Amino acid sequence: MIRLGILISGRGSNFVAIADAIANGTLRNAEVAVVLCNNPGVAGLDRAKERGIPAHVIPSKGRIREEHDADMVARLREYKVDLVCLAGYLRVVTPTFINAFPQRIINMHPSLLPAFPGLHPQQQALDYGVRVAGTTVHFVDEQLDHGCIIVQRSVPVLDGDTEETLSARILHEEHSAYPEAIARVLSGDYEIRGRCYVPRVGVSAK
Amino acid sequence: MIRLGILISGRGSNFVAIADAIANGTLRNAEVAVVLCNNPGVAGLDRAKERGIPAHVIPSKGRIREEHDADMVARLREYKVDLVCLAGYLRVVTPTFINAFPQRIINMHPSLLPAFPGLHPQQQALDYGVRVAGTTVHFVDEQLDHGCIIVQRSVPVLDGDTEETLSARILHEEHSAYPEAIARVLSGDYEIRGRCYVPRVGVSAK
């Protein structure tokens, strides 16, 4: 069983999607060991409690980033986490964190990277006038929204879309894309060449 | 009848796709008035001749860009061209050209802009490791591969893709995306807000 540590900041809808994928057998050989949240009182914490999954708040507000990350790493180690999944975790992680889990931290960003990194990617996409948007699951490296890409999904931008309608369409794709990306990483049947995710010869990617 | 001027540099496969879309009724109220090419002896010129479409070579090699563009503009005016379509035309057009046909020059670029502008976008996409690629039809402005987007189409990047296999998959999409973009522009039922193509209220985009 691979132990996942899921980091959230709010409602945790991607955490719920991952937990559901495990519960219904779509995502095998994995369990959510712990949910960590940097904001107290958010709905994602209730979702974890309802499922009997350990959840802890490690408040980030007013704290030095490196020290907060050291506390996060300690908690993840306490729960013997193998793979860290950022799921709507609205903090930039520091090298302290990244080096504690080399190639074992993945993130979801709601754009087709390398387009529209950073904040409000859906609104950035609408302002640019793209007709295709999407989402990316990638390994976390020391540059923002930059590491090796594991899965991408596209969605159309429709006439009259707002940030809300486009975000909802992207989120719907994320709920299956994130478990798929986790399954790909858990399989181990890949290597990273340059900055590319390359399934091993003879292994077909699902 | 809207008169199209199509600019090519090589085999002209997108020109052929546009001509075919007109011939089979997919693209209505348009005709190809002239094909202009900056390279002598390329296959696209033969495709024009076979179809009885006027085609001219205006060699660009060794010429000052502004002067070459002035000759191109003169030819397009001679043929009373309403809309200029760059279709694999491997020259950057100058302000002279752009100002001669304001909001009436469109280009196809084989990436999901704003990702991967410039040369070899398919190879750029493979090197970056994206899992979704695509193509963009956009109005031409004074920045390279930058103007308001009319149509985008996505294609998956498959394991083992090379520049050739990915380019072929994108080209297949282009052959229907370019006529669709031309039909959108010819309809006139849109406005450009900021840098966004916005269909007018009550008009559904196809």
Q: Is the pLDDT of residue B203 over 60?
A: no
By C-alpha distance, which of A170, A152, A153 is closest to A161?
Answer: A170
* A91 vs A7: CA distance, rounded Å: 10
Residues 6+ apart with CB under 8 A from B63: none
pLDDT confidence tier of residue B127, bands split at 50, 70 and 90: very high
DSSP letter, residue A184: H
Task: State yes or no: is A109 an active-site residue.
Answer: yes
Contact across the interface for A195 and B128, Cβ inside 8 Å = yes
Interface membership of B154 toward A (CB under 8 Å): yes
| 3-state SS class at B171 | helix
pLDDT tens, A88-111? Answer: 999 999 999 999 999 999 999 999
Domains of chain A, residue spans: 1-102, 108-206
B30/chain A closest Cα distance in angstroms: 24
Q: Is the pLDDT of residue B59 over 60?
A: yes
Test the A interface: residue of B109, B111, B132, B145 with most A CBs within 10 Å = B132
CATH number (1.10.3720.10, 3.40.50.170, 3.40.50.150, 3.40.50.720) of B108-206 reads 3.40.50.170
B74/chain A closest Cα distance in angstroms: 32
Looking at residue B182, what is its pLDDT?
Answer: 98
**ipTM of the modeled complex:** 0.92
Q: Report the pLDDT averaged over residues B50-68.
A: 96
Positions of B marked active-site: 109
Decide whether A1-102 matches A108-206 in CATH topology: yes
| 3-state SS class at A33 | strand
Looking at residue A200, what is its pLDDT?
Answer: 86
CATH number (3.30.420.280, 1.20.120.80, 3.20.20.70, 3.40.50.170) of B1-102 reads 3.40.50.170
By C-alpha distance, which of A6, A21, A14, A33 is closest to A167?
Answer: A14
* CB crowding A43-61: b at 16 or more within 10 Å, else e: ebbebbeebebebeebebe
Contact B125, B111 (CB under 8 A): yes
Nearest chain A residue (CA) to B190 = A159
Task: Report the sign of the C-alpha dihedral through residues A136, A141, A147, A149, in that order.
Answer: negative
Looking at residue A202, what is its pLDDT?
Answer: 56
B196/chain A closest Cα distance in angstroms: 4
Test the A interface: residue of B131, B139, B141, B200 with most A CBs within 10 Å = B131
Contact across the interface for B149 and A128, Cβ inside 8 Å = yes
